[in-house]
Amino acid sequence: MSKRGEEKYIDYNLLVITIFLLCFGLVMLYSASAYDATIEYGSPTYYLKRQIFSTFIGLVLMYVVIKFGYKIYKSPTVALLAYIGSLIVSLLVLSPIGISSHGASRWIKIGPMSLQVCEAVKLGVIIFMAFIISKKANKLRSIKMFSISLLYVIIAAGLIAFVTSDLSSAMIIGAIGVIMLIVANTKLSYLLPMGALVAVLFILAVVVAPYRFTRIRVWLNPEAYADGDGFQVMQALYALGSGGLFGKGLGNGVQKLGNIPESQNDMVYTVICEELGVVGGIAVILIFMFMIWRFAVIANNVDDLFGSMLVVGVMAHIGVQAVVNLAVVMNLFPNTGVPLPFLSYGGSSIMILLIEIGIVLAVSKEIKFK
């Protein structure tokens, strides 16, 4: 692309791949959810319509973010409000507007819509940590500044873990903050004590909630629990293995017909592999790898450290969440409720993801070519 003088650009590669994932996700969502939606709500398009609505709202928000740019978040007031506001939102699950589902209180009611509070906290942590790192970049190699920065992450992750009992989302939030600190030139010698701290917190979380230990046992030997806690894992593995090279054809999967509970959520990848085969499953992984690469290109080429760290935060969010979801589906990690970005059902998730993509695209506009 030839440029005269010095001009700005927007990363259309990332925009196109995002739109493709949204469209592909809606197709696979309908395929995965039509049976359950018909049984539960009498309409095969119940989940699809709700996801389309959330996607539309998300696209509008993405456009607004791109239009107004990302530098508004660079304000100390805005960055602090994003962090504290997200923590307050997470506490609202304990208020009358909190919503309980499947034995957990993780949502709040906002008018006709609901918001999963962990998604707001992820965005708040990305913005606030980018601000802290950009302001204290030269001091992060000191143990004091590193510990203070890490404490912000631990507070956010801990709040989600103990208020909503959502350990998986807490782990994602923790990973986002830690990756941002590592990329920000933190001393590698800090990784060992940080890893020890994570291990202690994880063991504590398992001890206080015995059902998590059950999930670890199921992960180690799913066949022994095939008729109980390991049912979903075994059915997911059957779906992965039955698709063959090219799959059974779009819409022709059978494991989604009552065998995999809520296959439109965390287990949507099993439907993809059963219906589109190994080829389809690998294609999805390659698409996410391409997206991560575009994030890296943008982060490396923008001159503003704050903008670069925003992109790193979004990259960590989407990358870690995709890896954990795929690992759970393949039984490489204990079963946990982590959706596959852009493909799993969830209005809060898709809207926050599109806001984050809007932030990244806004940052990409600041890349200058001579």
The most confident of 26-30, 94-98, 225-229, by mean pLDDT: 26-30
Angle 166-261-348 from CA coordinates, rounded to 5°: 45
| Assigned token pair, 55 | 């996607």
- Look at residue 2 in the predicted model and tell me its pLDDT: 40
Does 3 score more than 50 pLDDT?
no
- φ and ψ of 136, to 5 deg: -120, 25
pLDDT tens digits, residue range 51-81?
A: 999 999 999 999 999 999 899 999 999 999 9
- φ and ψ of 107, to 5 deg: -130, 155
The DSSP annotation for 51-89 comes to HHHHHHHHHHHHHHHHHH-SGGGGSHHHHHHHHHHHHHH
Residue keyed to tokens 């707001």: 120
Helix (H, G, I), strand (E, B) or coil at 311: helix
pTM exceeding 0.85 = yes
Instruction: Please state the domain extents for the chain.
Output: 7-369
Half-sphere exposure of 356 (CA within 13 A, CB side): 31
Q: Which of the residue ranges 74-78, 168-172, 333-337 would you say has the lowest mean pLDDT?
A: 333-337
Q: Could you tell me the CA-to-CA distances from 123 to 3, 35, 229, 268 in Å, in that order? A: 34, 33, 33, 24
Q: Quick check: 170 and 153 in contact, CB under 8 A? A: no
Question: Can you say whether residue 101 is alpha, beta or left, with left for phi > 0 and alpha for psi between -120 and 50 degrees?
Answer: beta
pLDDT band, residue 102 (cuts 50/70/90): low
